[in-house]
């Protein structure tokens, strides 16, 4: 949308996206959350970035699209922003030091299928030997059998297998499962 059009429809569009996002997040314990992205969530991110930065030139808009479009699932995968969330800064700093590599230990599975671990942070490294980042971008490449299972209504399990943060959800909420199934071709 142009900046003018977005300004006129922003409140309504924002309400739509907020409601949509409620069905696209999975809390993995107290301090980790997956926020699954799709075309609508990314459109919102781009529109907000264009608005905040007052970007209206075609070349600059294309740069934003090029940066964000890789976060949209392509029908055979799921893409998520993975956030490690601690309100207290010192607690967060200590946790990030103990959770190096956690982004590679997040997994998704469907009934009758093996766990799928993500390809993390393709755009740039977000951790060091001493600490991980609080934000990671994950791509889960799903085998065709799992895609079929999910589209046919199979329950989806998720978890984290990190030595310092372990959790398993045997089934995510049905509204989230249905939203993620819609991402699959």
pTM value is 0.89
> Token pair for residue 74?
């392509």
* Residue 101 Ramachandran class (φ > 0 left, ψ -120 to 50 alpha, else beta): left
User: How confident is the model over 101-122, as pLDDT tens digits?
Assistant: 999 999 999 998 999 999 998 7
With 90 as the cut, is the pLDDT of residue 125 above it?
Answer: no
Residues 6+ apart with CB under 8 A from 48: none
Name the band, by pLDDT with cuts 50, 70 and 90, for residue 130: confident
Per residue in 81-97, pLDDT (tens digit) is 999 999 999 999 999 99
Task: With a cut of 90, say whether residue 69 has pLDDT above it.
Answer: no
Write down the pLDDT at residue 154. Answer: 95
H or E element that contains 47: helix 39-53
CA distance 67 to 73: 14
The per-residue pLDDT for 124 is: 65
- Tell me: the pLDDT tens digits for 136-155? 999 999 999 999 999 999 99
State pLDDT tens for residues 158-183. 999 999 999 999 999 999 999 999 99
Residue 145: C-alpha distances to residues 55, 106, 115, 179 (Å): 42, 20, 12, 18
């Amino acid at each position: 949308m142009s900046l003018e059009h977005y300004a006129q429809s922003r409140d309504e569009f924002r309400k739509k996206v907020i409601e949509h996002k409620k069905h696209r997040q999975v809390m993995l314990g107290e301090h980790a959350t997956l926020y699954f992205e799709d075309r609508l969530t990314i459109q919102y991110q781009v529109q907000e970035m264009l608005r905040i930065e007052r970007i209206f030139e075609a070349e600059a808009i294309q740069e934003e699209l090029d940066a964000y479009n890789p976060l949209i699932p392509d029908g055979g995968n799921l893409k998520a922003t993975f956030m490690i969330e601690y309100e207290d800064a010192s607690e967060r700093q200590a946790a990030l030091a103990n959770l190096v590599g956690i982004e590679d230990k997040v997994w998704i599975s469907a009934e009758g299928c093996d766990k799928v671990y993500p390809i993390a942070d393709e755009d740039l490294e977000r951790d060091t030997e001493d600490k991980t980042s609080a934000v990671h971008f994950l791509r889960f490449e799903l085998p065709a059998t799992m895609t079929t299972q999910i589209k046919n209504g199979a329950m989806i399990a998720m978890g984290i297998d990190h030595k310092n943060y372990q959790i398993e959800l045997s089934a995510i909420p049905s509204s989230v499962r249905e939203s993620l199934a819609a991402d699959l071709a």
